[in-house]
Structure 1
Amino acid sequence: MRIALPHSLGKDEVRTRLKSRLGDASGKASELIGGMAQVETQWIDDDHLTMTVSAMGFTIPSQVTLEESQVLFDVEVPAGLGFARGMIESMIREKGEKLLA
């Protein structure tokens, strides 16, 4: 699933905001899901980030690409979570917009 979040910040500002706000990603994910969740992030280069969320027996890997006018989230939704695609997309949009605000 690919989700694009448009912005007018430029890549450098988006990178700065993401790096400063991803520090407690596991805690924020646990609050959001209502249980224990693990979030692992790793910067591949200045414009690409991998993010893996593990919770409730599922692992959801994703790639985040910073572009000049949008942030792209490529999320691999496991077959067992197909029913939750809309909810996952909604959460990414909501939380992503807050990260960029």
Structure 2
Amino acid sequence: MASPIVISIPHQLGRAEARRRIEGGLAKIFGLLPGSSGVSSERWDGDRLIFSVAALGQTVSGVIEVLDATVTIEVELPAVLRFIASGLKDRLQRSAQLLLTRK
């Protein structure tokens, strides 16, 4: 099994505001997955979001953890989607950074 995509984004918003922004931008973040049909499931456990998304007939799962000064995104791609890992990581990073830096 390949390693998951892991992205760590520093922020200066505090935990509550970072979580609010992540919650508000989930659709945009998940829309970056090719063929995404939206969030299949999402569940917050404290400040940790556990999710799965349908993309190109596959299930992509992961976790977003919101901390005081960092948001960490970890995404597990099924084998048939691993060819997009590099480009997806870059797009996820840019999108999440925009969410966490906009005023």
TM-score (norm 1): 0.78
Give structure 2 stretches of 5+ with no counterpart.
none
Name the count of aligned residue pairs.
96
Which of residues 12, 16, 23 is equivalent to 2:16? Answer: 12
Aligned equivalent of 2:52: 52
Aligned equivalent of 1:83: 83
Identity of counterpart residues, as a percentage?
Answer: 30
Distance 1:41 1:8, change over 3 A: farther
Measure the CA separation in 1 of the matches of 2:71 and 2:36.
27
Segment of structure 1 superposing worse, 13-22 or 80-89: 13-22
CA contact (8 A) 1:3 1:74 kept: yes
Q: Give structure 1 regions of 4+ aligned residues with deviation exceeding 6 angstroms.
A: none
CA contact (8 A) 2:59 2:78 kept: yes
CA contact (8 A) 2:34 2:55 kept: no
Measure the CA separation in 2 of the matches of 1:38 and 1:68.
28
Name the aligned partner's letter for residue 98 of structure 1.
Answer: L
Alignment of 1:62-101 (within 5 A): 62-100=62-100, 101=102
Name the aligned partner's letter for residue 18 of structure 1.
Answer: I
Give structure 1 stretches of 5+ with no counterpart.
none
TM-score (norm 2): 0.76
Measure the CA separation in 2 of the matches of 1:41 and 1:98.
24
